[in-house]
Structures are given as structure tokens and as C-alpha cells.
Amino acid sequence: MKRTLIIGWLALLASVSATGIAAASSARVRDIAIHDGDVPKRLMGYGLVVGLDGTGDRSLGGIGSPSATVRSVVNLLRRFGLVVPPEYLRLRNVAAALVTAEISPYLRAGGRFDVQVSALGDATSLEGGVLWMTPLTTDADQPPSATAQGPVMVSSAEKSFSLLARRNNSVRIPGGGVLEVDGPPLASDSPRLLLREPDRTSARRIAEAINAALGEGTATVEDPGSIRLRPANGGSALDLLAAVDTVAVDLESPARIVIYAKDGTVVAGGEIRVGPATIHHHGIALQIGGGEASGSSTPGLVRAAPESLVQDVAAGLHAAGATPEEIAAIFDALRAAGALRAVVEMR
């Protein structure tokens, strides 16, 4: 496949893109930091999804030892006074599943939360099933603190029209979990903020913004990931945290480039520019800076002006027909050569 790029394409894109990208962005403190002690509680459990239309586990009780799904159904029936030999069970409408959830540490008994249900066996789909009441616990050796049950939900975009396709094996139950007992009381030490992404510069800017809004000495940086807060004049720590959450902070966008392997989408945080470099990779020649082109377009040649934005270089590579893997390799080579000062991630 020939790769062709019209000369001057990137220079035009650079002049258009540079006007719409800011080097810094404003965010509230609550969006970039959490309160000390606000650690979510994670719950897990083992349960059965019943009512499937022949898409459950291929569980046979009479061949060798019974499967885990068959044994689970036998135990379930025994709780209701029904004793059924495992060898008599031929289950295709039941699937063993792992149930997980993440809840707020401040949720109280009676509070509802969403749960995630994922098949453990060889079920082809959980669509149309109902999760049998499942105890949820924080660890395998801990007593249950919540339960989950209800019909599973599958979005229309995830529905499978083939019984042979292994699809819809991970589904959700909105509001399917109920907390049964209150959690332990949280520690009430001096309030602190914990950055979601620890960074020295970000911590300093957050502390400066809080002190400017609420008074000098309110916030003190302890380390790149922690900021100590001090209520003024014996005020309430809860009121201070509520006020801090609304403070706006100007932060520089991280120097990070994310490339999605499926379609080659390139996302660059901030105004990241690429220095002079020349790279040859799998029939593509990328030249950033250098002399002017002479003549018409050259197959496989991508030219960019010096200090071009990452978005412009990516647009040129896409126009030249580069694959997502080739784009990732070229940007990684630019980083290794020192022409690009950013972290390159492939997803």
C-alpha cells in the first residue's frame, strides 16, 4: 500500500491547532485529590446466575466428579430441604459467577450499590439471567457484610446474536447490592488531602490555591502525594474539607501521549511539541524540520515543521497510512532520541 502525504499539510494543521490548545487547565481540588480515609471498600462473593436460556455452564453431574456449578446447586437445594443426587443434574441454565463491588466507606446499612457479575465457567452468555442472593465479604475469611441479587443488565451494544460466541460474560446489576452492616468508624485525625497522581508541582500549586482562598497556613505540603490541612480558629474539619473541595487549581497538563491500538487514536495531554528528528520505519520516513521539499508529494514521506504539535505529527502519519503499531513505534523512537519529552503509552 502506497503512503502519500501532500507537502505542507502539517504546516497548515500546526497553524490551526496551536490556537485551540492550552498549556494549563483548571480543576477543582475534589477532582484531583481525595480525603485521607476515603478508601473505597471492595466486596466480593461467589454466586449463581440462574434462568439462562441454555447458555450456562456445561455442567454434567454424572461424568467423573461433579463440577463446581453442580455442587453449588446441590448445596442450594439442600438448604430448602431438597436432596438431589449430583448425577441427576444436567444444567445449562445456571452459571457460576464471581460477584464484585466497590462502595464508599461512608455507606451505611441499608444503602444500595452496583455490582459486577462475571462468569467463572464456560457459560457462553449471562444475558437474561438472575443472580441468586449472594453474600459479599471483604475477604474470604471474613463474615459477610452485604448481599447481592437481581436480574443482570446487558447493554444493547454488548448483546450477542450467536450462541457460539463467548459474549456478555461480564454484566452489571444496578443497585443490586445492599449493605447489611455498618463499617468500622473512620479515624478522625487531622484532615489531609491525598493526590490521585502524586506530583511535587501539583501538590505545591494545590497548597498555594488553598492558602490563597482560605487563608495562609491552611494547607502544608508533606510530600508529593500528601497535603496537611489545618482548620482556622478551631473550625470544623468537615467544614474545611467541604470548602477545600471547591477550590479551583490551575495545573499543567501532563506530558503524556496515549495511543489506542485498535484504531490508532492519539491523545496528547497539554501542548506537547516535537523537536527536530528524522526517522525511517517500515517504509515511512518522518522528517521534522530540515530543508524544504522540492517537487510533488513523495510516497512514504511525512514532513513537519520544527516544534510541531504531537496532534499534527499524528495526523500526518495517519494520512500516510501508518498502522497504530507503526505510529506507536515512531513516537517511542522520537522519545528515545530526545525529540519528544513525554511518556508514550500504548493501550
Q: Is the pLDDT of residue 275 over 60?
A: yes
Calculate the CA dihedral of residues 281, 283, 288, 293 and round it to 10 degrees: 160
Candidate from 44-48, 147-151, 321-325 with smallest mean pLDDT:
321-325
Q: Is the pLDDT of residue 144 over 80?
A: yes
Scanning the chain, the segments in alpha helix (DSSP H) are 9-17, 29-32, 68-79, 200-214, 237-245, 310-319, 324-336
Query: What integer pLDDT is reported at residue 238 of this predicted model?
Result: 84
Name the most confidently modeled range: 89-98, 165-174, 178-187, 271-280.
89-98
Q: How far apart are CA 298 and CA 141, in angstroms?
A: 67
Other beta carbons less than 10 A from residue 203's beta carbon: 21
Q: Is the pLDDT of residue 14 over 50?
A: no
Q: How far apart are CA 298 and CA 143, in angstroms?
A: 69
Mean pLDDT of all residues in the chain?
Answer: 80
Q: How far apart are CA 99 and CA 134, in angstroms?
A: 8
Q: What are the residue ranges of CATH 3.30.1360.40 in the chain?
A: 25-37+187-252
The hierarchical CATH code for the domain 25-37+187-252 is 3.30.1360.40
Q: What is the mean pLDDT of residues 11-30?
A: 52
Query: What integer pLDDT is reported at residue 108 of this predicted model?
Result: 93
Q: Which residues contact 161 (CB under 8 A, 6 or more apart)?
A: none
pTM, 2 dp: 0.64
Q: Which residues contact 341 (CB under 8 A, 6 or more apart)?
A: 255, 272, 335
Query: What integer pLDDT is reported at residue 88 of this predicted model?
Result: 78
Query: What integer pLDDT is reported at residue 147 of this predicted model?
Result: 97
Q: How far apart are CA 125 and CA 165, in angstroms?
A: 8
Q: What is the mean pLDDT of residues 70-76?
A: 87
Q: Which residues contact 321 (CB under 8 A, 6 or more apart)?
A: 1, 2, 3
Q: What is the mean pLDDT of residues 154-160?
A: 56
346 burial level (CB within 10 Å; 0-12, 13-18, 19+): middle
Residue listed under C-alpha cell 528515545: 336
Query: What integer pLDDT is reported at residue 291 of this predicted model?
Result: 56
User: 160-219: per-residue pLDDT in tens?
Assistant: 444 444 467 889 999 999 999 987 766 555 688 999 989 898 999 999 999 999 989 899
Q: Which three cell numbers stand for residue 241?
A: 474539607
Report the share of the chain in percent with pLDDT over 70. 81
Query: What integer pLDDT is reported at residue 72 of this predicted model?
Result: 87
